[in-house]
Structure 1
Amino acid sequence: MRGMQTDSSNAQRPNTLRHWEWQYLDLMRQIWETGDERRDRTGVGTRSLFGATIRCDLSDGRMPLVTSKRVFWKTATREFLWFLTGDTNIRALCAQGVEIWTDWPLAHYRRETGDQITREDFSARIVADAEFAARWGDLGPVYGKQWVNWPTYEPVGDGLYRLGQGINQVADLVHALKTNPGSRRHIVEGWNVAEVDAMALPPCHKTYQFHVADGRLSGILYQRSADLALGVPFNLWSAALFVRLLAAQAGLEPGELVWMGGDVHLYLNHGDLVEEQLKRVPSGEPKLAITPRAQSIFDYRIEDFSVLDYAPQAKLGAPVAV
């Protein structure tokens, strides 16, 4: 067994009595102590497990907001709302103080120009200079582009094609939930094979599927690559937010979120974070309140959301592997 020895007395509690977050911490413990060590794209190295599931009840406003460390839910929410705009340039995010996507364009800029500009100065220039942002701030056709403007092509003769009307998967999904709730095709897909190589980072949280039963909307997120320490707490929140907003627009009650991870991993340089977090005990039951004024799923603003009863333990930081 690798790594630290931790108190696993909570591991055998009945599911009905356990805080949902023990699923997350138990998975973290399992990977850190028994995961396969692998080389990865970043060169940092990981311990990983293939195939994992976490289930979260979303009824009565409940949200899977990790309490064993502070998760900046407003940052995750701003990112999710940005996805819904279809924008692929980091300028709008940087203007809101959201820097979770800045490292990829920054690394590209440094490689191409040799200018070792600081992250802070790069972000400030992205915000201040529209031309600079257009040249260096675009991420390619990532998430939101695929969600609300999946490209189509129309034949124009002689074997030639032109760009057609993009497909808004999210708008189509809302319509389908209202008009055909029993469908098994309530899916939003981010993995566009033809455009993956043009993306700064291919979609990690790639496939969403939704299910209606007894007036309740549940959702599954399949995540091909899951950074358990840094990324997954954001992904859990955002996926649950997706369910909540869809339910509100379709006149349904929230049901359950099922998170499914493919390659679920911990980076080897996240050891201090992991070992500290595994000493902590989750507590509380954070809930999300949403101001019911948006006319469509695309009209929500950060001011429409508030979290109640969230008292997280201290922030835990670790470097992002780019």
Structure 2
Amino acid sequence: MSERADSARHYEQQYLDLMREIWERGDERVDRTGVGTRSVFGAQLRFDLSDGRMPLLTTKRVYWKTATREFLWFLTGDTNIRKLCAQGVEIWTDWPLDKYRKASGDDISRADFSARVVEDEAFAREWGDLGPVYGKQWVDWPVYEPAGDDLFRRREYGVNQVADVVRSLRTNPGSRRHIVEGWNVAELDAMALPPCHKTYQFHVSGNRLNGLLYQRSCDVALGLPFNLWGAALFIRLLAQQCDLEPGELVWMGGDTHLYLNHAELVETQLARKPSGDPRLAILRRPDSIFDYRIEDFEVTGYAPQGVIKADVAI
């Protein structure tokens, strides 16, 4: 493909090409959920983040505010869905809901379960916790210290990987250790879902901050649109905090798949053509990466095609 043709190619087309490749040539597999997938292994996408650009899909509506609320929640280190549900974000509700239904025999609706989590603090403590997922590892990776007699005691505070990366980007931009890792092997069994978007690495080139996300498992239809937004947002926040310009997002997928029950979604989306050039403005620079609010973000130029609904496989 010529350079001119490539420059005219809409950034979203690579996502649609990946979707088509998986759906038409992917390996059909039995998976953990029992739904079944078509899968490829080792995919890559690249997105330019300069001048406010974001990898926001236009062939279906992506609820970027929901994705942003989730990312800001990760940065708090919270592992209970209560604060998410209070904001109307239910993307993590299915896992504790499934656990509650199996334990209690109560076929409660998701809406009623979420409402009860918000209204009843004791119920939220018992049933709303996800275990040490994502944000807990990002900002409070556990550390154990010798306590004598071959015993170890958990330190009161863990490793804040995000704060460490902000510090290292500012003081040692050429480092090859700008990494945030979610895959804590010792705690995987305690998590409602082991991290899919597991490893983030950042790279400074001149005054540009590039970021790479490695995702061990990727639901391309439902999860990837959120994951791309979250990874790009991570780069944008770090760049602002470290006086750098956003560069490029490189996304890499391990088991990259589509669920077999998403045929209608896939075929509908592949029949659409991407268009538009949405941009994200960050309206305020707080003192810390941990102090952003949803009101700090504004997206312009986003006119997506209609919502395409599909069930999440749990």
Asked whether the two chains share a fold, i.e. TM above 0.5, the reply is yes
Deviation at 1:195, TM superposition (A): 0.2
Match of 1:272 in 2: 264
Tell me which of 192, 198, 210 is aligned to 1:206: 198
Residues 241 and 285 in structure 2, CA contact (< 8 A), matched pair in contact too: no
- Runs of 4+ that moved beyond 4 A: none
Match of 2:73 in 1: 82
- Indicate yes or no: 2:7 matched with 1:16: yes
Residues 65 and 294 in structure 2, CA contact (< 8 A), matched pair in contact too: yes
| Partner SS state of residue 5, structure 2 | coil
Match of 2:31 in 1: 40
Tell me which of 289, 295, 300 is aligned to 1:303: 295
Aligned partners of 2:305, 2:15: CA distance in 1, in Å? 15
Tell me which of 129, 132, 144 is aligned to 1:141: 132
| Partner SS state of residue 6, structure 2 | coil
- Indicate yes or no: 2:60 matched with 1:69: yes
Tell me which of 235, 238, 241 is aligned to 1:246: 238
| Partner SS state of residue 118, structure 2 | helix
Aligned partners of 1:293, 1:177: CA distance in 2, in Å? 17
Report the count of equivalent residues.
312
Residues 42 and 252 in structure 2, CA contact (< 8 A), matched pair in contact too: yes
Aligned partners of 1:124, 1:49: CA distance in 2, in Å? 38
Match of 2:308 in 1: 316
Residues 240 and 285 in structure 2, CA contact (< 8 A), matched pair in contact too: no
Match of 2:118 in 1: 127
Deviation at 1:15, TM superposition (A): 2.4
- Indicate yes or no: 2:56 matched with 1:59: no
Deviations 1:236-295 (A, max 9, x none): 000000000000000000000000010010000000000010010101111000012311
Tell me which of 206, 222, 232 is aligned to 2:224: 232
Aligned partners of 1:171, 1:293: CA distance in 2, in Å? 16
Aligned partners of 1:145, 1:293: CA distance in 2, in Å? 24
- Indicate yes or no: 2:214 matched with 1:222: yes
- Indicate yes or no: 2:176 matched with 1:173: no
Aligned partners of 1:54, 1:17: CA distance in 2, in Å? 17
Match of 2:281 in 1: 289
Q: Let me know the Cα RMSD of the aligned residues.
A: 1.1
- Indicate yes or no: 2:101 matched with 1:101: no
| Partner SS state of residue 185, structure 2 | coil
Aligned partners of 2:5, 2:308: CA distance in 1, in Å? 28
Deviation at 1:215, TM superposition (A): 0.4
Deviations 1:93-146 (A, max 9, x none): 000000000000000000111111111110000000000000000000000000
Q: How does 1:152-163 map onto structure 2 within 5 Å?
A: 152-163=143-154
Aligned partners of 1:215, 1:33: CA distance in 2, in Å? 41
Query: Given residue 238 of structure 2, which amino acid in structure 1 is its aligned partner?
Result: L
Percent of pairs identical after alignment? Answer: 74
Tell me which of 107, 110, 113 is aligned to 2:104: 113
Deviation at 1:13, TM superposition (A): 8.6
Aligned partners of 2:245, 2:72: CA distance in 1, in Å? 21
| Partner SS state of residue 307, structure 1 | strand
Match of 2:179 in 1: 187
Query: Given residue 42 of structure 2, which amino acid in structure 1 is its aligned partner?
Result: G
Greater alpha carbon shift after TM alignment, 170-179 vs 156-165? 156-165
Aligned partners of 2:98, 2:60: CA distance in 1, in Å? 28
Aligned partners of 1:156, 1:123: CA distance in 2, in Å? 41
What is the TM-score normalised by the length of structure 1?
0.96
Aligned partners of 1:80, 1:293: CA distance in 2, in Å? 17
What is the TM-score normalised by the length of structure 2?
0.98
Deviation at 1:214, TM superposition (A): 1.1
| Partner SS state of residue 16, structure 1 | helix
Query: Given residue 151 of structure 1, which amino acid in structure 2 is its aligned partner?
Result: P
Aligned partners of 1:271, 1:84: CA distance in 2, in Å? 34
| Partner SS state of residue 8, structure 2 | coil
Aligned partners of 1:186, 1:14: CA distance in 2, in Å? 34
Deviation at 1:14, TM superposition (A): 3.5
